[in-house]
Amino acid sequence: MTAETAHAAPTGPSRSEIDQTLRGILRDVLGLDQAQVDGFDNDTGLFGHLPELDSMAVAGLFTEMEDRLDIVIDDEDVDGEMLESYGGLLAFSEAKAVGA
Amino acid sequence: MYATWPCPLPNGRMGEEMVLGFDTARAQRLLVIPPLFDEANKFRHQIFEIMRRIVSREVDCFLPDLPGCNESTADLTQQTLGQWRAAVAAAATHFRATHVLAIRSGGWLVPGDIPGWLYAPVKPRQVLRSLLRARIIAAREDGRDETSDGLLENARIEGIELAGWPLGAQLVRELEAEEATPTGAQIVIEHSDVGGQPLWLRAENDDDPEQADALAAIVAIGIHGL
């Protein structure tokens, strides 16, 4: 499922780079090893599926995303869909990084 | 190991707070200032691990509770950065600290004239932003729409509960306004110097022996001047 992010765009922020950075952040937040986060696909459930990912942890996740992806996440960006699955969070990050 | 220490109260009197201390009357004495709010819980075990390692390197260590934090019975809504700074300064004097190690937001509170280290310092505004965000995310989950601007407007006057932490209006205003930049007497230890996954990001509390080894080594070597 990760194959679709494996081809970097010739210009602008690389999709695979965003994907790797995002996996790295989730690895740190969830305390997983690299192999486990490498196994995430677009349908891997996040908020609501992982009990340890409470609102404070998600807030920390966003702060780290802003920092490492050089994006700004606004209050109104926060909705269930982007947090529901890894694919949702990745799509959101890509859209933000392109717009940044 | 656990004792109490005399902590100044806002009214000028003295109260009592708990301290986790390893005191064998050594010449080298390290005051450890924990991070505030949720990171205090996340780091509690790790701080103990760091202290244990530093103590084994011939340095006495003290981790005082600040008013309104950890086991303190003081009202958190009455606390301000100013009062916490006064408490840390009093603790430094009481424990005759020769050095200080402040972790994350704990770095906002250290006296400027005591040598030591600020580990992975963070800006007050960033911490406030994360706390606000946690509240907004939780509200969104309950079907309520809140915004940082709206919450802050009220919080500056009335205080606010964020992620389970009831903060007074003055503390909110301080967190918004302060830069809390290092003063020069302390050296910044970036997380990359320690390595591993940052524990403050962990959704579930954890400790990391390798990170504790690395941080304790930096501090102990610095103290002994090796």
For the residues A56-70, what does the mean pLDDT come to?
A: 92
Residue A8 pLDDT class (50, 70, 90 cuts): very low
| All residues at 6 or more sequence positions from B172 whose CB lies less than 8 Å from its CB, including other chains | B128, B152, B155, B156, B159, B160
Element (H, E) at A100: none
List pLDDT tens digits, range A33-45.
Answer: 899 999 999 999 9
Q: Shortest Cα distance from A62 to chain B (angstroms)?
A: 8
**pLDDT of A86:** 95
Least confident of A10-14, B34-38, B146-150, B199-203: A10-14
pLDDT for B163-193, tens place per residue?
999 999 999 999 999 987 777 789 999 999 9
Quick one: tokens of A12? Answer: 């602008």
Q: Band of the pLDDT at A53, cuts 50, 70, 90?
A: confident
Provide the shortest C-alpha distance from residue B215 to chain A (in Å). Answer: 19
Which residue is closest to A78 within chain B, CA to CA? Answer: B137
Domain boundaries, chain B: 2-123+180-224, 124-178
Architecture of domain B2-123+180-224: 3-Layer(aba) Sandwich (3.40)
Cβ A63–B198 below 8 Å, yes or no?
no
ipTM of model: 0.80
Q: Is the dihedral of CA B54, B55, B61, B63 positive or negative?
A: positive
Classify A70 in phi/psi space as left (phi over 0), alpha (psi -120 to 50) or beta: left
Interface mutation target, options B43, B201, B204, chain A, most CBs of A under 10 Å = B201
Confidence band for A9, pLDDT divided at 50, 70 and 90: very low
Q: Which pairs count as long-range contacts for B203-207, CB under 8 Å and 24+ apart, including other chains?
A: B203/A29, B203/A30, B203/A31, B203/A50, B203/A52, B203/A53, B203/A54, B203/A57, B203/A60, B204/A31, B204/A52, B205/B41, B205/B42, B205/B44, B205/B45, B206/A31, B206/B45, B206/B46, B207/B45, B207/B46, B207/B49
For B141, the closest chain A residue by CA position comes to A80
- pLDDT at residue number A2: 47
Chain B contact present for A32, CB below 8 A: no
Task: Tell me if chain B has a CB within 8 Å of the CB of A84.
Answer: no
Q: Which of B147, B198, B200 sits opposite A75 (nearest CB)?
A: B147
Are B120 and B189 in contact by the 8 Å Cβ rule? The answer is yes
Spell out the domains of chain A, with CATH numbers in brackets. Answer: 14-99 (1.10.1200.10)
Interface test mutation site (partner A, options B37, B46, B122, B137, max chain A beta carbons within 10 A): B137
The size of the A-B interface in CB pairs under 8 A is: 67
Q: Are B43 and B200 in contact (CB under 8 A)?
A: yes
Across the range B123-137, mean pLDDT stands at: 94
How does residue A12 score in pLDDT terms, banded at 50, 70 and 90? low
| Higher-confidence position of A78 and B71 | B71
Contact B203 A31 (CB under 8 A): yes
Task: Please check whether residue A22 touches B, CB under 8 A.
Answer: no
Cα B60 from Cα B147, distance rounded (Å): 46
Q: How far is B125 from chain A (nearest CA, A)?
A: 12
